[in-house]
Homo-oligomer: A and B are copies of this chain.
Amino acid sequence: MEEHKNLKTDETDKRILELLVDDGRMSYADIGKKLNLSRVAVRSRVNQLIDNGIIEKFTAVVNSEKVGKEVSAFFEVDCEPRALVEVAENLASNPYVASCYQMTGPSTLHMHVLVSDFPELESFINKELYALEGITRVESHILLRRFKSRSGLKL
């Protein structure tokens, strides 16, 4: 929800974005063929999209379970209001933490954590999370089933 200038993206830019969200390694030549553009024109537009921050990065989406991160946990972290930003920055630097947001609603932080198994989760909770000053209450939930998980658009 940061400030931003009104960036001009036309229909062609949108088509390029859709293709790259769908396949981040599609060659500029292939994109060009689909959109009746030259490879150079595509590259120029993509570079523009990167320069103004519309494309943040290209990435490979890795299945966390298959690389041993078998437990996905969501946390609601209640903080003393005055400590919230400091706690959030502290948690954001923790390698187990995949994301950390401040939301409307209660004065909690919403946090996603990926760990290998329950002993690692218990250790993360008791040794890393509960050890932070300014945390007053924590609520944790474990992922049971994923119905949709769109990648490519930043939450």
Residue A137 CB within 8 A of the other chain: yes
Q: Please, how many angstroms separate the alpha-carbon atoms of A99 and B99 in the complex?
A: 14
Tell me whether B66 and A52 are in contact (CB under 8 A). yes
Tell me whether A103 and B74 are in contact (CB under 8 A). yes
Q: Please, how many angstroms separate the alpha-carbon atoms of A3 and B131 in the complex?
A: 23
Once A17-B67, A65-B4, A140-B104 are accepted as A-B contacts, the answer to whether A130 and B84 lie under 8 Å apart by CB is: yes
A interface, how many residues as a size bin? 35 or more
Tell me whether B24 and A148 are in contact (CB under 8 A). no
Instruction: Please give, as numbers and ranges, the residues of chain B lying within 8 Å of A140 by CB-CB distance.
Output: 104-105
Once A1-B65, A61-B152, A144-B118 are accepted as A-B contacts, the answer to whether A105 and B25 lie under 8 Å apart by CB is: no
Once A1-B119, A2-B119, A25-B24 are accepted as A-B contacts, the answer to whether A143 and B58 lie under 8 Å apart by CB is: no
A-B contact pairs, 7 of them (CB 8 A): A2-B65, A24-B59, A56-B62, A102-B143, A103-B142, A105-B105, A118-B144
